[in-house]
Amino acid sequence: MDDLEQLRGEALRDVAAASSVDAVEAVRVAVLGRSGQLTQRMRGLGALDPDARRETGAALNRLKDEIAEALEARKAELGQAARAQRLAAERADVTLPVPPDTTGRIHPISQTIDEIVAIFGEMGFAVAEGPHIEDDFYNFTALNIPPEHPARQEHDTFYLPERADGSRLVLRTHTSPVQIRTMLAQKPPLRIIVPGRTFRCDHDATHSPMFHQVEGLVIDRATHMGHLKGCLIEFCRAFFGVDDLPVRFRPSYFPFTEPSAEVDIGCSREGGELKIGAGSAKGQQSWLEILGSGMVHPQVLRNCGIDPDEYQGFAFGMGIERVAMLKYGIPDLRTMYESDLRWLKHYGFLPLDIPSLVRGPLL
Amino acid sequence: MKTTVSWLKSHLDTSAGTDALVERLVMLGHDVDGVEDRGAGLADFVTARVVSAERHPQADRLRVCVVDNGAEHIQVVCGAPNARAGMIGVFGHAGVTVPKTGAVLTESAIRGVVSRGMLMSEAELKLSDSHDGIIELPSDTPIGARYVSVAGLDDPVVDIKVTPNRADCLGTRGLARDLAATGIGTLRPLDTTPVPGKFTSPVTLRIDDPTACPLFLGRHIRGIKNGPSPDWLKSRLESIGLRPISILVDVTNFLTFDLNRPLHVFDAGKIARGLTVRLAHAGEKMLALNGREYALDPEICAIADDNGVQSLGGVMGGEATSCTEATTEVFVEAALFDPIRTAATGRRLEIISDARYRFERGVDPEFTGPGLEIATRLILDLCGGEASEIVVAGAQPEWRRTYALRADRPKTLGGLAVPAAESRQILETLGFAVEGQGGELAVTPPPWRGDVVGEADLVEEVLRVKGYDDIPAVPLARDTVVSRPAIDARRRRADLVRRTLAARGLVEAVAFSFISEKAARAFGGGDARLRLVNPIAADLSVMRPSVLPALVEAAQRNADRGYPDVALFELGPLYRDDTPAGQINAAAGIRAGRTGPRDWRAKPETPDFVLAKSDAIAALAAAGAPADSVQTSGDPPAWYHPGRAGVLRLGPTVLGHFGELHPDILEAFDVRGPVAAFEIFLDAVPAARAGRARPPLRLSVFQPVERDFAFIVDHAVPAETLLRAARGVDRKLVTEIRLFDLYEGAGLPDGKKSLAIAVTLQPQDATLTDAEIEAFSQKLVAAVEKATGGVLRG
């Protein structure tokens, strides 16, 4: 047994002395390996009588377990140290900046169109579109603007060259021709909005030769001016996100609506800063014109083959740039079209920021 | 249209103040652009007499004046050369603020002499730029009076945006009539008593073309003395920015802005016999009152005498027969000119005049005679003389029209229930004649309301006088409880393209639909039918054949500003012809400079055709195109680099182009290259398969196997040929083929390249055996070698 005790002492000393995983393995092979010291003794058991064999075998097994355990423990100890060393060596500077964000932006005009569509969509409107190069009938005549009508002169129309038959195509001066196209193609009830490009021969600080409008049209048997007010008040409050936004309807004139109304929203200009919403109690309520609207003129309905004694409804038109500028504090119309990257990144929107009424604005 | 509050009150009997009148005008449909209080800041200045003016003992140019402001004598030092004893000026006492400088006047010693105020110049009061000394008031001006009252500056000027339909409101009386209908005051009666004629006019009248001018009245007035108008008339005209000229001219201007009755006065002594209204003859010319000579044509309404055209009917008079200070006899014209002819005349000659503006909108046909009577009386009152009987040519056209107004229409069209009796009362105050009771009224608009042509107009009249504020807002009922899609599949796809491109790092731009002709030609356009007749600038003159030129120009501008790393896209129209079908929705993008800023980790790259192709394919996939089936060919349009650009097709359909721009384009647009660009045509993408359900997904339980193959092929062999051949070998077994290496150079024969692909095999029914894999490999190698003429790399 002394022999065993000596083996134990030597083996455990070797384990403790092993300074690497490989050294531990070498100890294992020397003691527990195929021809290891302990293994050989196990083999020698066969030569002993049964009692001695049982006794010695048990002792050998105990020793084997003890050494194996010591080996594992030493191995784990060495592994941990090695990992700690590796981790220390892997230490990096986590204050390094991240790569630049290269996400692009959505233009405020596109985003605003999506916002407008989201609101009118909730009120049952569907988007319709039409061509930018229009003929006189759709852009003017069918809208109750005959050739000599003074309103036609105020439209600052862009013309394309005269054709063989003497007619001239125009760039549409408003989105209203799509009213005509829709009424000629579909039967009432109708509820459409038409966002799109429009063109006027005018260029200064507040006018651009191209801009965007959104047109709205509702035709059915019962819609009246009260509905026009209800619909547009709802829109203005939802769009500007001001629940108590004052909205004012003023009589006005458009050849294609009767009665007609301009729509103003309330604002205050206290301290030189424009704020959309009700003026404070002592500050005066100011107004900003944002929309033209009215009940569709009976002659326009007739021009589209719709009987004005049976159907009626309202139409409206709004400048998209104007409401975008008011909502997002964009000071200059012309910058919208300059494609200045600094401007686009400042006023643009993240592509994943998709307007939705139920999800609300991204604040 | 400008007027003043006191002018309005000359027609409207009311105690309402400026704010109330303005508010009421706005809510009647007469939007007010501005209210100018010309007396603002002048309230503290009073009239004062200069009692004495002595030379300053210390300064030759200064005077020591003693001023009487009605209450006391005050000493001031004044530098104005016209300061003298006896004159009446405008005095500001120490303590008042000088409008021009904003400084408060203080009592001070000027070169040793105490000055307790200031005699004011027009410039100091911001009334004009005139520095011609201090203001001198007429000698009968009361002393110690508020200067604003004396000068008539306490009468606010109201600038009204009269809508094109309301010709009647281009005269102050029309506005007063509208105001009266709301109950804010009552319309004062207008004296139209005829002036009896004393003799027969020597000037005769004839109308040759009654369509251009159905009615022409005229009157000869002799023995007159022209001269400056009285102060009340000058002040009226000056308040709305008109320059007083002489009584005869001022009277016609006054009637224009007071009663919307344009008139013309000829110097009767310069008319050769009579006047004829006719269309001008080709070749006729006339020197107009604005000093310009106009060449006339038969579209133009002319008023001529034996010497030729003397006036452009309803637009502008002629110089030859114009009135001067020396005029002693006049012929006053009050005519009715056709709106369309007047507009055509004005537009053809590019003359904008107050008369044209009114005639083309339509003036009151009944008021031709009364207007002439009022003008006659004014001229006789101010210039003396005697008037002839009225000469008449033509006849007053019939203007009476009657429309039914159903009693419920204010409610069913306007959303506001108005009792029939109230509708009737409103219409009558506006001058409409109303017959009938109860369910239906028969309404005849007054002669000045040519704009009212049906029941809807009558409803508007009732509503705007009641006030739109009274209409209750009603929610717009919806057919369905839950929202329905507002946009169709095509627009939904376009939205996805837009947001996909932005997510890929491109910034969305919105550019004009028109570009320069040079740019259009460079990108395959320039069709004469798409050239604007009246562009605002040469660089915005042709409908764009491509979205790209605007983006290239934007890249150049951004680079010029110091931002050369550009990634821009636009979703917008291009125009192939002038038909609706020729307008194509496109998505185009460009990348120039580098793909990002210098970074310690993400190294920026130079954009190339592969990046452009990636953008294009991503956009096509977002648009719903089967991106795996898109074919690429190296035959790009001329604006691309011929060897580094391509066309994307589905069968025969061109979906778009991509690649690096041609050096010629870069040079023409002054941009530094390379510039990678793409343009895809959203309308060319076939509609996606209907239905939302995805095809069934079979997830195999067996391990996929990946095998690599490298082929040596001719340099010119397109990679797509190799990939297509490989894909065709076994579409069921192969789930993915990726080109993972492209090599040319050392170790390969000249003109050859090596293309290496990784093929993923996914068995569905059993693990692949080595023999099966080997069989597949042989088939693939054979197919590729056959398609490309290449060989497997050993």
The mean predicted confidence, pLDDT, of chain A is 92
Looking at the complex, report in whole angstroms how far the Cα of residue B511 sits from the nearest Cα belonging to chain A: 5
Distance CA B329, CA B530 (A): 57
How many CB atoms sit inside 10 A of residue B777's CB?
16
How many CB atoms sit inside 10 A of residue B747's CB?
9
Number of H helices, E strands in chain A: 12, 11
For B394, phi then psi, to 5°, come to: 80, -170
Distance CA B671, CA B486 (A): 41
Among A133, A227, A344, beta carbon nearest to B583: A133
Among B486, B540, B566, beta carbon nearest to A341: B566
**How do strand B285-287 and strand B293-295 relate by DSSP bridges?**
antiparallel
For B92, phi then psi, to 5°, come to: -115, 120
What is the amino acid identity at position B290? N
Among A100, A103, A336, beta carbon nearest to B503: A103
Distance CA B711, CA B769 (A): 24
Looking at the complex, report in whole angstroms how far the Cα of residue B474 sits from the nearest Cα belonging to chain A: 5
Structure tokens at B99: 């409008």
Structure tokens at B259: 């009663």
Distance CA B358, CA B179 (A): 21
From B335, B346, B372, B404, select the one nearest B251 (Cα to Cα).
B372
Tell me if A104 and B163 make a contact (CB, 8 A cut-off): no
Tell me if A124 and B563 make a contact (CB, 8 A cut-off): no
Among B491, B579, B600, beta carbon nearest to A127: B491
Tell me if B164 and A150 make a contact (CB, 8 A cut-off): yes
pLDDT at A146: 85
Tell me if A132 and B511 make a contact (CB, 8 A cut-off): no
0.85 surpassed by complex ipTM: yes
- In the 3-class helix/strand/coil scheme, how is B719-741 assigned residue by residue? HHHHHHHHHCCCCCCEEEEEEEE
CB contacts of A110 in chain B (<8 Å) are: 498, 508, 510, 571
Distance CA B613, CA B547 (A): 17
A–B: how many Cβ contacts below 8 A? 272
User: Which residues face A293 on adjacent strands?
Assistant: A261, A316
Q: Are B597 and A99 in contact (CB under 8 A)?
A: no
Tokens 């000056």 sit at which residue?
A: B238
Distance CA B217, CA A345 (A): 67
CA A207 to chain centre: 29
Tell me if B339 and A148 make a contact (CB, 8 A cut-off): yes
Greatest mean pLDDT among A78-87, A229-238, B341-350, B470-479 lies in A229-238
Looking at the complex, report in whole angstroms how far the Cα of residue A85 sits from the nearest Cα belonging to chain B: 26
Which one of A224, A233, A262, A344 makes the best mutation probe of the B interface by having the most chain B beta carbons within 10 Å?
A: A224
End-to-end CA distance of chain B: 91
Structure tokens at B598: 């210098």
CA dihedral B13, B17, B22, B24 (to 10 degrees): -60
Mean pLDDT of A243-251: 95
Q: Is the pLDDT confidence value at A152 over 90? A: no
Looking at the complex, report in whole angstroms how far the Cα of residue A149 sits from the nearest Cα belonging to chain B: 8
pLDDT at B37: 86
pLDDT at A154: 65
A162-182: per-residue pLDDT in tens?
988 888 999 999 999 999 999
Q: Is B131 exposed, middle or buried (0-12, 13-18, 19+ CB in 10 A)?
A: exposed
Distance CA A249, CA A267 (A): 15
Residue B703 DSSP label: P
How many CB atoms sit inside 10 A of residue B227's CB?
12
pLDDT at A283: 59
Residue B171 DSSP label: S
Q: Is the pLDDT confidence value at A150 over 80? A: no
Q: Which long-range contacts (CB under 8 A, 24 or more apart) does B197-200 make?
A: B197/B387, B197/B388, B197/B389, B197/B390, B198/B386, B198/B387, B198/B388, B198/B389, B199/B386, B199/B388, B199/B389, B200/B388, B200/B389
Among A161, A227, A260, beta carbon nearest to B533: A161
pLDDT at B588: 98
Structure tokens at B166: 């309301």
Collapse the DSSP code of B278 into the 3-class scheme (helix H, G, I; strand E, B; otherwise coil) and give the result: strand
Number of H helices, E strands in chain B: 19, 40
CB contacts of A250 in chain B (<8 Å) are: 26-27, 29, 31, 468
Tell me if A295 and B456 make a contact (CB, 8 A cut-off): yes
Cα maximum dimension of chain A: 132
Q: Is A286 exposed, middle or buried (0-12, 13-18, 19+ CB in 10 A)?
A: middle
A42 or A142: which carries more pLDDT confidence?
A142
Tell me if B31 and A262 make a contact (CB, 8 A cut-off): yes
B516-542: per-residue pLDDT in tens?
999 999 999 988 999 999 999 999 999
Looking at the complex, report in whole angstroms how far the Cα of residue A38 sits from the nearest Cα belonging to chain B: 45
Q: How is the beta sheet containing B117-119 ordered, strand by strand?
A: B73-78, B63-68, B46-55, B88-93, B117-119
Structure tokens at B783: 């197919």
Q: Are B49 and B70 in contact (CB under 8 A)?
A: no
| Cis peptide upstream of residue A131 (ω within 30 degrees of 0) | no
Q: Are B169 and B1 in contact (CB under 8 A)?
A: yes
Looking at the complex, report in whole angstroms how far the Cα of residue A231 sits from the nearest Cα belonging to chain B: 6
Sign of the C-alpha dihedral computed for residues B265, B271, B276 and B280 taken in this order: negative
Q: Is the pLDDT confidence value at A1 over 60? A: no
Among B164, B495, B595, beta carbon nearest to A151: B164
Buried/exposed B489-521: b ≥16 CB within 10 Å, e otherwise: ebbebbbebbbbbbbbbbbbbbbbbbbbbebbe
User: Which residues face B31 on adjacent strands?
Assistant: B161
Distance CA B530, CA A154 (A): 23
CB contacts of A353 in chain B (<8 Å) are: none
Angle formed by the axes of helices B18-28 and B172-181, to 10°?
A: 90
Looking at the complex, report in whole angstroms how far the Cα of residue A117 sits from the nearest Cα belonging to chain B: 7
Question: Could you give the C-alpha distances from B452 to B137, B443, B444, B446, B461, in angstroms and in order?
Answer: 49, 10, 9, 9, 9
Q: Which long-range contacts (CB under 8 A, 24 or more apart) does B433-442 make?
A: B435/B402, B438/B407, B439/B406, B439/B407, B440/B404, B440/B405, B440/B406, B440/B407, B441/B404, B441/B405, B441/B407, B442/B402, B442/B403, B442/B404, B442/B405
Q: Is the pLDDT confidence value at A282 over 70? A: no
Collapse the DSSP code of B568 into the 3-class scheme (helix H, G, I; strand E, B; otherwise coil) and give the result: strand
Distance CA A306, CA A293 (A): 20
Tell me if A210 and B413 make a contact (CB, 8 A cut-off): no
For B268, phi then psi, to 5°, come to: -60, -25
Distance CA A282, CA A85 (A): 73
How many CB atoms sit inside 10 A of residue B41's CB?
17
Tell me if B475 and A234 make a contact (CB, 8 A cut-off): yes
Buried/exposed B152-190: b ≥16 CB within 10 Å, e otherwise: bbbbbbbebebbbbbbbbbbbbbbbbbbbbbebbebeee
Tell me if B499 and A148 make a contact (CB, 8 A cut-off): no
B579-605: per-residue pLDDT in tens?
999 999 999 999 999 999 999 998 999
pTM: 0.88
Tell me if B415 and A224 make a contact (CB, 8 A cut-off): yes
Tell me if B484 and A248 make a contact (CB, 8 A cut-off): no
Q: Are B350 and B287 in contact (CB under 8 A)?
A: no
pLDDT at B100: 87
Collapse the DSSP code of B99 into the 3-class scheme (helix H, G, I; strand E, B; otherwise coil) and give the result: coil
Collapse the DSSP code of B398 into the 3-class scheme (helix H, G, I; strand E, B; otherwise coil) and give the result: coil
Among B27, B166, B474, beta carbon nearest to A227: B474
Buried/exposed B400-432: b ≥16 CB within 10 Å, e otherwise: eeebebbbebbbebbbbebebeebbebbebbbb
Cα maximum dimension of chain B: 129
Sign of the C-alpha dihedral computed for residues A290, A294, A299 and A303 taken in this order: positive
Looking at the complex, report in whole angstroms how far the Cα of residue B786 sits from the nearest Cα belonging to chain A: 44
CB contacts of B314 in chain A (<8 Å) are: none
Tell me if B510 and A99 make a contact (CB, 8 A cut-off): no
From B86, B80, B88, select the one nearest B62 (Cα to Cα).
B80
Among B360, B507, B534, beta carbon nearest to A159: B534
Among B414, B502, B512, beta carbon nearest to A106: B502
User: Which residues face A250 on adjacent strands?
Assistant: A262
Which of the residues in chain B have pLDDT under 50? none
Which one of B508, B578, B605 makes the best mutation probe of the A interface by having the most chain A beta carbons within 10 Å?
A: B508
Which helix (H) or strand (E) is B507 found in, with range?
strand B507-508
Tell me if A127 and B476 make a contact (CB, 8 A cut-off): no
Tell me if B505 and A104 make a contact (CB, 8 A cut-off): yes
DSSP B640-684: EEEEEEEEEEETTEEEEEEEEEPHHHHHHHT--S-EEEEEEEGGG
From B244, B351, B234, select the one nearest B289 (Cα to Cα).
B351
Tell me if A133 and B575 make a contact (CB, 8 A cut-off): yes
Q: Which residue of B has its CA nearest to A126?
A: B486
Q: Is the pLDDT confidence value at A363 over 80? A: no
